[in-house]
């Protein structure tokens, strides 16, 4: 298993977060989805947000992306307190989100998907040729393997579609990109491709929030891992300092479960080799 050893993780702890949430609470009727949750990400840092089903990850991401409003707590972008009332407010603050459904238009080509919704905004001056050039620039920056930008996205692979969705999130030059389960539906090679994209985003000094159930992916690319459990902060680790079983224990709230035991046995037998 590869473990990220990026220096950005340690450097990050001394600088101001690009995005910081403090004391976040959110309930839906009688359900307390989040209680007193703190979360932060620095520029050039990949933070994984993990937790079991119902832990509150999606709710927290939707608060950061302006889909939901928190009942309590504060949110800061580069130290300045902000109120994010809508997804477009989040976007103009530099917070981009790639949701699991990707929200691509299958019948449109890559260029059209990248600029969908932006044509009337800052990019109104762009003609087709300029948009195509800008598409290639964005995809090149990500090291993306897309053969042509003039094919409908329906004919792309799952990894390529994820790439287009991530590239689209970069059109407004965001400071933070949140990726919701970006590898959930992908095979091994395509997962590796998407994890490379995450590395590229970090290289570009973006703050990256990665929501994932896949511990191997998380441990491969994250600098820091934040564990939510039952709507609260359960644990936080620097990736270099944590084992899979410690992560599983934090996620499940128990160290004596079968996954932790199996991993401990495996680690012990490796140690004896």
* Distance separating alpha carbons of residues 113 and 149, to the nearest angstrom: 10
Binding mask 44-83 for ligand ATP (x = CB under 6 A): -------x-xxxxxxx------------------------
For residues 112 and 227, which CB has a smaller minimum distance to ligand ATP in the complex? Answer: 227
Which residues partner with 161 through β-bridges?
none
Nearest to 131 by CA among 145, 108, 113: 113
52 versus 141: smaller Cβ distance to ligand ATP: 52
Which CB, 156 or 226, lies closer to ligand ATP? 226
What is the DSSP code (8-state) at residue 141? H
Q: Is 212 in the site for ligand ATP (CB under 6 A)?
A: no
Minimum CB distance to ligand ATP, residue 30 (Å)? 9
Q: Is the dihedral of CA 173, 200, 196, 247 positive or negative?
A: negative
Cα–Cα distance for residue pair 6/239, rounded to 1 Å: 10
Min dist. Cβ of residue 141 to ligand ATP (A): 30
Separation in Å, CA 172 to CA 33, 118, 122, 211, 249: 31, 8, 8, 22, 39
Residue with Cβ nearer ligand ATP (2 or 53): 53
| Interface size with ligand ATP, residues (CB under 6 A) | 11
Positions in the binding site for ligand ATP (CB under 6 A): 28, 31, 33, 51, 53-59
């Amino acid at each position: 298993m590869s473990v990220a050893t990026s220096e950005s993780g340690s450097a990050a702890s001394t600088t101001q977060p690009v995005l910081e949430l403090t004391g976040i609470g959110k309930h839906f009727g009688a359900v307390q989805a989040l209680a007193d949750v703190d979360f932060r990400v620095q520029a050039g840092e990949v933070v994984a947000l993990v937790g079991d089903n119902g832990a509150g990850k999606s709710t927290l991401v939707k608060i950061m992306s302006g889909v939901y409003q928190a009942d309590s707590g504060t949110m800061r972008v580069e130290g300045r307190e902000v109120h994010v009332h809508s997804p477009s407010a989040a976007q103009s603050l530099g917070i981009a989100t790639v949701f699991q459904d990707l929200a691509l238009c299958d019948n449109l080509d890559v260029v059209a998907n990248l600029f969908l919704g932006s044509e009337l905004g800052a990019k109104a001056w762009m003609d087709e040729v300029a948009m195509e050039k800008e598409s290639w620039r964005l995809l090149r920056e990500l090291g993306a393997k897309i053969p042509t930008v003039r094919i409908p996205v329906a004919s792309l692979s799952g990894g390529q579609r994820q790439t287009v969705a991530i590239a689209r999130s970069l059109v407004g030059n965001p400071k933070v990109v949140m990726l919701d389960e970006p590898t959930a539906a992908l095979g091994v090679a395509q997962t590796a491709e998407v994890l490379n994209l995450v590395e590229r985003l970090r290289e570009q000094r973006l703050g990256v929030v990665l929501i994932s159930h896949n511990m191997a992916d998380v441990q491969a690319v994250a600098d820091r891992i934040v564990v939510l459990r039952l709507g609260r902060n359960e644990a936080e680790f620097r990736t270099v300092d944590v084992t899979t079983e410690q992560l599983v224990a934090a996620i499940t709230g128990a160290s004596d479960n079968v996954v932790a035991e199996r991993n401990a046995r495996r680690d012990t037998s490796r140690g004896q080799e």
